[in-house]
Structure 1
Amino acid sequence: MRTKPDVLVVGCGAIGLSVAYNLAMRGMRVLALDRVGPGAQTSARAAGQSVIAQTDPAMGQLMHRSIETIAGFEDNTGVPFKYHQVGSIKYALADWSASQLSREVERARLLGADVSMVALDDAQRIAPHTNADVAVAAWHAPNDLYFSPPDMLAAFYSVAKKAGVEFQFGEDVSDIVIDAGKVAGVVTGSGRIDAGAVVMTTGPWTKELLARTGTILPAVYVRHQYSIRSGVPGIHPGLPSVRIVDHAVYARPVGANLMFGTYEPHPLEFKAVPKRAEDVPLDGAAIETALQKVNAVFRGLAGSSVVELRGGVPTMTPDGSYLIDEVEVARGLYFATGCNVMGLSCAPALGEEMAAWLATGQRPEVLKGFSIRRFADRNLSSDEIRRKALGEYEGIYRDTETAGHIRRYGALPGNMHAG
């Protein structure tokens, strides 16, 4: 008979695997459940980019530590984790976006990030697959890195197993058991599983599960997708990631191919999230539209071919920040969701902080700003939550001073719903 775990982690994406591993490293008995398998849902479909130029102090701290963890992973654990610390370039194509880049650099440097404005000639040298002549300004972050998401997921799964985490796959949680104001476990298709504490790291499926406790998460779910393209000349793994503020696009090498993605002006929104990420409907039209807007920046992009179209379901919140908390009516029931497309890149540090919280009973300082209680006095209607959260997705590359520069191309709002 299985020993009752100290902690049950529900959801084995990047954050769940990191939480489980770090809990086990603190000597706790950990059981991790997943409907499919380790990292088999949205995490595996992320872009796999770590961006050190954050402007929020908590996000900056989490990102810095996550990059350090990734860079030292193999030395510290003995488990291989391939990554490319080749930096990144961010371009502005207009005066308004150039001003934003300057603000980004100023704010990021205050948080200790190594990021600076660079001459366009230098940007061209660093990213020779681009045409800096069409840009107005650029910044460079030499310590940014990228990696293949499956590599991160496999690495954390491996170290978690080595640390003693027990895994159980093919389990669909249908209910949360609460006894006298404290979580007692969960119910799955194979029966009840008791645990001393439960951590929900179930991404876009968290909202439905927590609603069973009366906890309503201010979040919406959208499709994010990108294409892998062949035929772009000069692409190799040593090139930096490239982002363009004006059209919210990003690109990075995938071997000799190029990953090209965009944050759509009118993303497909899910009222009911598909149970499996492979069931997310994909449509590359918005990517092709964005490509036409920036093909002058990337040499040969216009003539490239789509090798693969990938998509997942990120969770968006009204202020673009995580939802990380303990459920008020169920002590010992924790959740970490609201990735706002930044779940994978900060997962290493988030797992450490969540494990510290459960082990000590004290919420770490860096997580305090992500409490759901920050919305308690805002009285947001469901329409306001939806509008603000969708705005965070569409405007992810804009700061508050450039919020008025909205892209007008893309699908119409009437085509936003699925499920």
Structure 2
Amino acid sequence: MRVVVIGGGIVGCSSAYYLAKRGAEVVVCERSNVGAGSTERSAGGIRAQFSTPVNVALSRASMRVWNRFEEEFDADISHRRSGYLFLARDEASADELAETVAMQNERGVQSELLTPEEAREVCPGLRADLFRAATYSPNDGFADPHLALQAFATRAREVGADIRTGVEVTGVPGDSTGIEGVETTDGPLDADFVVNAAGPWASRVAAMADLDLPISPERRQMAVIAPETPVAESVPLTIDLDTGSYFRPEREGAALVGGHFGGDTTADPNAYDRTTDLDWTVGAVEKAAEWTTYFGPESEIRRGWAGLYAVTPDHHPIIEETIPGFVNAVGFSGHGFQHAPATGQLVTELVFDGEASLVDISMLDSDRFAEGRTVDERNVA
């Protein structure tokens, strides 16, 4: 079985690892360097607190890998389980949180609904009077995206995958009845299957196979702040759902601050500003200061960066064999890092078995957009 994987981010390297482990002859084509796309610019979140059953299932399948990753891959990825805390200000949002935590509990997620006062016990700097309800899971957390990606790439190579950097895919010859392989800047490659794991470039790669996928590369920013009041490493990644503001602890009292405040711009993945806007950074810190006590006027900006989310209209990925021999694993809307272990296994099942069994991904087909079968993910961070 010959498989070409397009994209050397964590979804591509996870797919290469599981495919090669099962016996496929795998070539990964990465136009730049491993991790040069979105993976190493992510916040590294790993959580099961999603609002739809399919995202919960992807998380649970992935967390089974993440929770034993350092032992299985012999790699330190700085996996910290300080939890996630979601906060609701208004009654409608609080009701949605209650419904969501019930769904999560039914599927084995150890999340719980908290009062604002209980939420302040896990996040001592919270201004509890601004909120109506919260949900919390101590099993959520985050890891270092760079270390995790390098571990997947290393292990993929060890089991036989050929990861080629500086090789750009320029065409996908074939038609709706089947794919013949890929054309690259390093020459053609024959393949029985082609896997599109191109992140922000996913819609462009899909177009090479005459597919129109509704995936938009959107620029998102985050900043590392030295807060006036240090944030303990035990504080969870904390999200104000109604404003989009969030933060999580870094080392030595620092905090990573971000948020979705509207106005996110569609960007060219080949040419976008990878630095943060000063106005955005100041605004993000001010928003965090409004609902916590950490970010007083003596807080300092240390550094920041921008990356791209590959966003679909419903914030769910597309994972399917769209046409014979062409598998899409794209459009994760900011959740690609944490769902990569499950996705690599699902891609492998699609290639070898013709169907997925690890997770029911029937709703993650590309036809759902035209047919009006979308269900929005509400817990976006």
Same fold, judged at TM 0.5 (above) = yes
Name the CA distance, whole Å, in 1 between partners of 2:103 and 2:362.
Answer: 21
Equivalent residue for 1:314? 309
Cα deviation code 1:364-383 (max 9, x no counterpart): 4522211112234359xxxx
Deviation at 1:220, TM superposition (A): 2.1
Tell me what 1:86 maps to: 82
- How is 1:33-112 mapped onto 2 (pairs within 5 angstroms)? 33-112=29-108
Deviations 1:157-192 (A, max 9, x none): 122122221111001111112279322221111211
- Aligned runs of 1:291-306 on 2, under 5 Å? 291-303=285-297, 304-306=299-301
Aligned counterparts of 1:73 and 1:360: Cα–Cα separation in 2: 25
Question: Which residue in 2 is equivalent to 1:369?
Answer: 363
Q: Is the 8 A contact 2:243 2:261 kept in 1?
A: no
Alignment match, 2:335: 342
Q: How does 1:8-407 map to 2 (within 5 A)?
A: 8-178=4-174, 181-256=177-252, 257-270=254-267, 273-275=268-270, 279-280=273-274, 282-303=276-297, 304-328=299-323, 331-364=324-357, 366-378=360-372, 397=380
Distance of aligned partners of 1:191 and 1:69 in 2 relative to their CA distance in 1, 3 Å threshold: same
**CA shift at 1:217, angstroms?**
0.7
Rounded to whole Å, the distance in 1 between the matches of 2:344 and 2:271 is 23
Structure 1 CA distance for aligned equivalents of residues 91 and 175 of structure 2:
58
SS of residue paired to 1:265: coil
Match of 1:226, as an amino acid?
Answer: M
Percent sequence identity over aligned pairs: 25
Asked whether the equivalents of residues 196 and 329 of structure 2 are also in contact (C-alpha less than 8 Å), the reply is yes
> Over residues 52-107 of structure 1, what are the superposed CA-to-partner deviations in whole Å (9 max), with x where a residue is unaligned?
12232221111012122111012223333320012122222333333332222222
Instruction: Compute the displacement of 1:40 (Å).
Output: 1.9
- Following superposition, the deviation at residue 397 of structure 1 comes to 4.8
Distance 2:162 2:363 in 1: 31
Cα deviation for residue 227 of structure 1 reads 1.0
CA RMSD in angstroms, aligned pairs only: 2.5
Q: 1:254 to 1:198 in 2, by over 3 A?
A: same
Question: Are 1:70 and 1:81, in contact at CA under 8 Å, matched by a contact in 2?
Answer: no
Q: Structure 1 residue 22: deviation in Å?
A: 0.6
Tell me which amino acid in the other structure corresponds to 1:305: E
Consecutive unaligned residues of structure 1, counting only runs of 5 or more, are 380-387, 399-419
How many residues matched? 378
Shift of 1:23: 0.6
Q: Distance in 2 between matches of 1:192 and 1:84?
A: 43
Question: Given the superposition, is the C-alpha separation of residues 283 and 396 from structure 1 closer, same or farther in structure 2, using an over 3 Å criterion?
Answer: farther
Q: Supply the distance in 2 between the matched residues of 1:349 and 1:101 (Cα, whole angstroms).
A: 25
Change (3 A) 1:16 1:232: farther
In structure 2, what is the Cα distance between the partners aligned to 1:346 and 1:284?
31
Q: Kindly state the Cα deviation for residue 281 of structure 1 after the two structures are TM-superposed.
A: 6.0
CA contact (8 A) 1:247 1:294 kept: no
Alignment partners' CA distance in 2, 1:45 and 1:232: 25
Distance between the aligned counterparts of 1:178 and 1:290, measured in 2? 47
Out of 220-229 and 292-301, give the one that drifted further. 292-301
Check 1:232–1:367 CA distance in 2 against 1; reply closer, same or farther (3 A cut): farther
1:274 positional shift: 2.8
Tell me the secondary structure at the aligned position of residue 38 of structure 1.
coil
Q: Write out per-residue CA displacement over residues 87-134 of structure 1, whole angstroms, 9 at most, x where no aligned residue.
A: 122222333333332222222222221111223333222222433344
Cα deviation code 1:326-362 (max 9, x no counterpart): 233xx21111111111111111111111111111122
CA contact (8 A) 1:117 1:138 kept: yes
Q: Distance in 2 between matches of 1:361 and 1:99?
A: 40
Paired residues of 2:49 and 2:379 also in contact (CA < 8 A): no
| Change in CA separation of 1:356 and 1:397 when aligned onto 2, cut-off 3 Å | closer
